[in-house]
Structures are given as structure tokens and as C-alpha cells.
Chain A
């Protein structure tokens, strides 16, 4: 299921994050869920500030990458957000 464009996600404040080498490990102490993000997904999460929707996040990434495929970037963003949502790690504002 794709992230609805109007929702502006951010990581729940109580989800713990730790950088381990070039990965980002997330842990939700409420339900014990873990999620390991690679560098790309971690960059996407970095842009989830509750002010940007999926399209805005993708636009921000494309703007700093010279030869990015905008559709591919949007797909990556949507996939990352889906993974985070599947673990109930996000909160969203409309």
C-alpha cells in the first residue's frame, strides 16, 4: 500500500535509534519491533519531520542528487515509509 501523499510522517518519539556502522537500527520498546535501515532508507527517515509528505521527501532527495530518477526515488521513499508503517513506528500529521 503506498503512502498517501497528504500524510506527513515522522518517527515516533519513543522509538530508539542507533547508528551501527553504516546502518540505522530502530527499536520500539512498546512492542519489541526492530527495523534495520540501510544508508538510503536512513536518509529518507531523516527527512521525515512531520512537515513533508512522501512527494516532498522524494523532491528533497532528488534536489541533492544530480542524476536521480525521480520515479525511482519516490518508489524508495514509499517503500521505506511502508516498512516503517508496518512496524507502527511512524506518527503522521495531515
Chain B
């Protein structure tokens, strides 16, 4: 069994099929390996024309093979939000100069497009889905493959060589979602990071030029709190976290234009702090 350290939990991935096991290795490969008995585990095995996913050997769920791994990632996220003891913000995280740029946003606001574009403009990948805060105001990585709608991928244009499309996908609300894997040189592999800036993706306009608007710490704290996940969200500690982060770094609302122009504008703003 492959066992990975996911935010301090030992998570197992297994398959009786060699090809699927290799894919699980790739799916989970951005997390560090660990040893010992997993806290929980997922398996994916071909059965007839389908793939059957299980958690801890139970709750078999059959679906098409090309969708199987996205379901595992959803189950993983559900377990993480249930088990870990620190604040989880729905958002992307990228790293540069040893600090984190956090991008809190709900689905459909352009978070993944912006995260991917930033990787092609000097930032390294930490997360596309989750900004886990532990140890005070420091954020950790949650490096699962980037999930992106087909339409957003087309807006992004040609990907840099450090990003590649994974063959797995999921169908969601009438549109296919692709998964991107950042290569080794684009990933951040270090410890928890201090936050350097917060940018709230807020959709995109038809204009190629982005609009970055400074947001007050109070407004930013409210927006960040609206992206808290998990059963422990909405506690006084989380309030203090959001206020603490947004009071200490510049915060911006971002209406994206062309993804690469937007990433350049964010990079310039980052450099001018």
C-alpha cells in the first residue's frame, strides 16, 4: 500500500491492479511518503467495465475508470475536513520568496485558472483546493492535482512545460473538468508558510486587463470567513485567524482578464509590497 502524509494524517492508496496502483501513486505523489499503518485508506480496482472505489475496504462505489480518481480526491477532502484540527479555507495557495499568496474563493470564481497562471509567472504550487492553517497564521500545502473546467483551460491557452494534463477527469454540471499535474520543479515542498498577501478571485471580465482592488482588512476577514470549511468552521478561533491574517498583509479583490496578464499584475503587486 502507498501511504502518504496528508496534513499529518497517514492516508493509504491501494489497488490490486498494477496500472491503477501506478496512477494512485501519481495522484498522491505530491504528498510526502510516510510509513506505518494508515489512518484511513482508499482503493480502486477494475471490476468488469467499471472501477470500484472503496474507503477502508468498505462502501464500494462503481463508476467509469476515468472518473474514479476525482471521486477519491473528493472523499479525501471530506475526510480531511472532518478530521484535521485546524482551520481550512477553501482556496488556492502558491508560494514565492518563502511566503504564501492565498486565494480564497468559492467554486467558479477563477481560483484554479489564476493558480495555474501564477505557476507560469514565478510562483510555486502549494494547493488548488484548500488553504490549511495551523500553527498560528501559517498555511500549509495541500497538493492534489489542479481541477479545471474545460472552458477555463481553453482561456488559459498553452500550458508551460511544468504543467501537464492528467488523463483523468470528471463530468460536472454539463462540463468536463480536467486535472493538471504540476511537475516537480513547480511544487513547493517545504514547511508551513507565513502569508504574504491575500487575493480574492472574483470572476473574470471580457476585457484582457485585470482589475485589482484593495480591500480593507475588515472586508477581507469577512470574505475569508465565508470560505471556511469543515465542522469546526465558524469558531471564535477561526474568526481570530481570519482577522489576524487580513490585518497583517495586503488584500485584494481580483476580477481577472486574460489569465496571464492577471498573473503578471498580481506578481507586480506582490513585488511592490
Q: Which residues of A contact B (CB under 8 A)?
A: 16, 18, 20-21, 23-25, 27, 29, 32, 34, 36
* CB-based nearest A residue for B235: A29
Contact assessment for A25 and B234 in the assembled complex, using a CB-CB cutoff below 8 Å: no
Q: Give, as a whole number of angstroms, the nearest-CB distance from A30 to chain B.
A: 9
Residue on A nearest B234 in the bound complex, by CB: A32
Residues in chain A near residue B246, CB distance under 8 A: 20
A20–B221 touching, CB < 8 Å: yes
What 3 pairs across the A-B complex have the smallest Cβ distances? Answer: A23-B218, A20-B217, A32-B234
- In the complex, what's the smallest C-beta–C-beta distance from A92 to chain B, in angstroms? 24
Main secondary structure of the interface of B (DSSP, over half): helix
* Complex CA distance for A76 and B169, rounded to whole angstroms: 54
Given contacts A25-B243, A34-B225, contact A20 B218 (CB under 8 A): yes
Identify the B interface with A (CB < 8 A).
216-219, 221-222, 225, 234-236, 239-240, 243, 246-247
Asked if B216 contacts A21 (CB within 8 A), the reply is yes
Using Cβ atoms and an 8 Å threshold, which residues of chain A touch B247?
20-21
Query: How far is A36 from B247 in the complex, measured between Cα atoms in Å?
Result: 14
Give CA–CA (A92, B218) in the complex, Å: 26
Q: Please name 7 further chain A to chain B contacts, defined as beta carbons within 8 Å, in addition to the given A20-B246, A21-B216, A25-B222, sorted by A numbering.
A: A16-B236, A18-B221, A21-B247, A23-B218, A25-B221, A27-B225, A29-B236
Sampled A-B contacts (10; CB under 8 Å) = A16-B236, A20-B247, A21-B216, A21-B218, A23-B218, A29-B235, A32-B225, A34-B221, A34-B222, A36-B219
Please indicate the chain B residues that have their CB under 8 angstroms from the CB of A32 in the complex: 225, 234
Q: Which residue of B lies closest to A23 (CB)?
A: B218
Smallest CB–CB gap between B214 and chain A, Å?
A: 12
Chain A residue with minimal CB distance to B221?
A: A25
Chain A residues positioned under 8 Å from B217 (CB to CB): 20-21, 23
Q: How far is the CA of A21 from the CA of B234 in the complex (A)?
A: 23
Residues of B within 8 A of A21 (CB): 216-218, 247
The smallest beta-carbon distance between B147 and chain A, in angstroms, is: 27
The residue on B at minimum CB distance from A34 is B222
Complex Cα distance, B169 from A7, in Å, reads 59
On chain B, the residues within 8 Å of A24 by CB distance are 218
Say yes or no: A25-B235 contact (C-beta < 8 A), given A20-B246, A20-B247, A34-B225: no
Known contacts A20-B221, A34-B225, A27 near B239 by CB under 8 Å:
yes
Q: For the complex, what is the distance from the CA of A64 to the CA of B247, rounded to whole Å? A: 31
Give min CB distance, B172 to chain A, whole Å.
27
Specify which chain B residues have a CB less than 8 angstroms from the CB of A18 in the assembled complex: 221, 239-240, 243
Contact of B218 among A16, A25, A29 (CB under 8 A): A25
CB-CB under 8 A from A27, the residues of chain B are 225, 236, 239
Contact of A16 among B216, B219, B222, B239 (CB under 8 A): B239
Shortest beta-carbon distance from A91 to chain B in Å = 19
Distance in angstroms from B215 CB to nearest chain A CB is 11
Q: How far is the CA of A34 from the CA of B236 in the complex (A)?
A: 12
In the bound complex, how far is the Cα of B243 from the Cα of A25, in angstroms? 9
**What residues of A have a CB within 8 angstroms of the CB of B236 in the complex?**
16, 27, 29
List chain A residues, Cβ under 8 A from B234. 29, 32
